[in-house]
Structure 1
Amino acid sequence: FNVDFLQQLRSAIASTYYKGLGIEDGDIFVSDGAKCDISPASGLLELLKVLFGSNVTIAVQDPSYPAYVDSGVIMGQTGQFQKDVEKEQLTWLVQFAKNNGSIIVYDSAYSLYISDDSPQSIFEIPGAKEVALETSSFSKFAGFTGVRLGWTVIPKELLFSDGFPVAKDFNRIVCTCFNGASNIPQAGGMACLLLEGSKVVGFYKEDTKIIVDTFNTLGFKVYGGKNAPYVWVYFPGQSSWDVFAEILEKTHIVTTPGSGFGPGGEGFIRVSSFGHRENVLEACRRFKQLYK
């Protein structure tokens, strides 16, 4: 573990993701993955329980990433089932948090996939630094799943009702429960923040377009795939698990049942574009053969 190297990574994250948003190096907590920051064992949920008591109310959207329900995160892109989070929605949410003394936990893991004018960070919203913290990961844009590297941004403006900084308590909890990210993934993270790293996102976007075009051609209603590397395909009147099982048995392709993300995902499957191009093309060929 190298403190100097960690500082370089913090600076690179701040200048790459939060340029012009007033986020400083010291606001960024680098960890061995966003899950560690939001897990029940330590991090945000534990922080809420310790500081506010076990009766704290936590809102989670539906459908959502399953870990959110287990961990207590409020919102983000959640695998891109819902309509993209618009600036007006986030502005309303920030004002709601201010009016009700709430803290927003925002997941920006897919921010680099956003290609329209949707906010890439909640800190683009005026006043958000006073009521929100943001967690993110290298897994979704750099294929770091299993390598373990992520970060959480806690602005110095985010304070408890007594004026004490949230960042200080968060730092105490995560430092007690985790040793931080090792030098190897940190070096990988630095490399991913170079210009060449953005090409990976472009590659996955091309994969996504191939999948979307395939299901559109087959006559399915397709959602997502625009600002995240996932495609949601609707099978009206069918169980997500039944569709999953049929695809697995007849094509040997593994998809994700939409119901695993909550009741709102029932009737859908989620198809990932994370893969080698030849595998994506072969999977689409099998989909066409199954549903032609």
Structure 2
Amino acid sequence: MSAQINKNFLNISQSYLFAEIAKRIRDWQAANPEHASKLIRMGIGDVTRPLPETVVEALVKASREMGVAETFHGYGPEQGYDFLKTAIQNYYTRFHVALEQDEIFISDGAKSDIGNILDLFSVDNTVMVTDPVYPVYVDTNVMAGRKIIYAYSSEENGFLPMPAPEYKADLIYLCSPNNPTGAVYNREQLTAWVNFARDNGSIILFDAAYECFVTGDLPHSIYEIPGAKEVAIEFCSFSKKAGFTGTRCGYTVVPYALKRDGADLNHMWLRRQTTKFNGVSYIVQRAAEAVFTPEGEKQINENIQYYKDNAKIITDTLDRMQIFYTGGKNSPYIWMKCPGGMKSWDFFNDLLEKAYVVGTPGAGFGKSGEQFFRLTAFSTHENTEEAMRRFERIYG
């Protein structure tokens, strides 16, 4: 006998999308060393603004506490410290959503929990994802061997697919504001999905990582929709909200009302976390708590506005050029149609060769992404303006 591998891993792409992009950039830089310094990256959705000063002060203060016996913290609660869960509770009340503390689970980021939550569900479940799609939703389920169906989106439906009989599935992934398209579901549209899940016994896995970019009356949380607590788990992150991509902190909400097969999913998730996760560090959780202080929010909103200003630079250029796009206003992502009907990887190469600008080919996010391209607002004003000057000069 010998150890048997999980052969489902052989069914996923052997190169993660952003690893392939990084390889192409390295090859281009090696072939064009004289232009390497001109490269502007607008592809990967990583923040560029530093952590707000209030957050840094909280990190420093908590670090010093760890060096004193009276304030030292060892293992913390796997589900997170009460001080941070209380701050999150208070944040949700702004959207008229009431959460119990023990419905909130602190994590090291939304990406981890989006994959880990699948421990609660049988591999016999059918999964629905929207297409284009954040690759993690697909790859984690392919690794487990689940059947996946796709709700395809397009220019015609504004890249916001709606429920249809053929989309009946046990698990439904929704992301709003969407990565990669930047499109945002309104209340009526989210209500339709919640009702669809209730009618079919489905569970919605709702990724709200970009809710901080939402303005107006658009929902920040799926729990703003009546009945959603009975059918939805919500994932959120401090990565884009507060620049924690290198600090790592997020949270998942599993409501008490969410039950299946006589089991309480909140209790199941607690049991899973206490077995497989030792929690986020005290230092990082104190930093996350500072995000919700008045001064922390002021500084964080300044950073978010900075990225929104970059998004406007991009969308103003596309408007002048009469190029179709979604996103930008309520999202850091702009999902644009490739000029001249180019395929997305062809446009990636063309943009890199001619403008020295890097974006993300839409085909990397699924079948519906062909002939589309994602740009991000996570750059400096200067680089964003320069990138769009080059873009307009070449394709205008």
Show the 5 A alignment for 1:1-292.
1-3=75-77, 6-19=81-94, 20-39=96-115, 43-49=116-122, 54-72=123-141, 74-77=173-176, 78-79=178-179, 81=181, 83-162=183-262, 164-194=263-293, 195-196=297-298, 197-235=300-338, 237-292=341-396
The question of whether the paired residues in 1 share the 8 Å contact of 2:105 and 2:251 is answered with yes
Quote how far apart the aligned CAs of 1:48 are: 0.9
Secondary structure of the residue aligned to 1:85 is: coil
Secondary structure of the residue aligned to 2:126 is: coil
More deviation in 56-65 or 73-82?
73-82
Q: Distance in 1 between matches of 2:191 and 2:360?
A: 32
Secondary structure of the residue aligned to 2:384 is: helix
Task: State the 4+ residue runs in structure 1 displaced beyond 6 angstroms.
Answer: none
Secondary structure of the residue aligned to 2:373 is: strand
Q: Distance in 2 between matches of 1:158 and 1:5?
A: 20
Question: Which residue is equivalent to 2:153?
Answer: none
Cα distance change, pair 5–30 in 1 and its aligned pair in 2 (3 A): closer
Quote how far apart the aligned CAs of 1:282 are: 2.2
Quote how far apart the aligned CAs of 1:130 are: 1.1
Residue identity opposite 1:227 in structure 2: N
Q: Distance in 1 between matches of 2:80 and 2:197?
A: 35
Q: Distance in 1 between matches of 2:217 and 2:239?
A: 23
Specify the structure having the higher radius of gyration (Cα): 2
Q: Distance in 1 between matches of 2:269 and 2:252?
A: 10
Secondary structure of the residue aligned to 2:347 is: helix
**Same amino acid, percent of matched pairs:** 42
Q: Distance in 1 between matches of 2:283 and 2:360?
A: 31
Residue identity opposite 2:100 in structure 1: E
Quote how far apart the aligned CAs of 1:178 are: 2.4
More deviation in 176-185 or 133-142?
176-185
Aligned Cα root-mean-square deviation (Å): 2.0
The question of whether the paired residues in 2 share the 8 Å contact of 1:80 and 1:225 is answered with no
1:7-38 CA distance string (max 9 Å, x none):
11111111113443121221100000111111
Residue identity opposite 2:92 in structure 1: Y
Quote how far apart the aligned CAs of 1:291 are: 2.1
The question of whether the paired residues in 1 share the 8 Å contact of 2:89 and 2:98 is answered with no
Q: Distance in 1 between matches of 2:291 and 2:358?
A: 28
The structure showing larger relative contact order (alpha-carbon pairs under 8 Å, at least 6 residues apart) is: 2
Aligned length: 284
Q: Which runs of 5+ in 2 are unaligned?
A: 1-74, 142-171
Quote how far apart the aligned CAs of 1:183 are: 2.5
Quote how far apart the aligned CAs of 1:80 are: 5.4
Q: Distance in 1 between matches of 2:189 and 2:121?
A: 24
1:215-249 CA distance string (max 9 Å, x none):
22233222211211011110252110010111112
Quote how far apart the aligned CAs of 1:263 are: 0.9
1:97-146 CA distance string (max 9 Å, x none):
22222111111111121113221111011111111110011112222223
Quote how far apart the aligned CAs of 1:82 are: 6.8
The question of whether the paired residues in 1 share the 8 Å contact of 2:134 and 2:180 is answered with no
1:250-274 CA distance string (max 9 Å, x none):
2222100011111111111100001
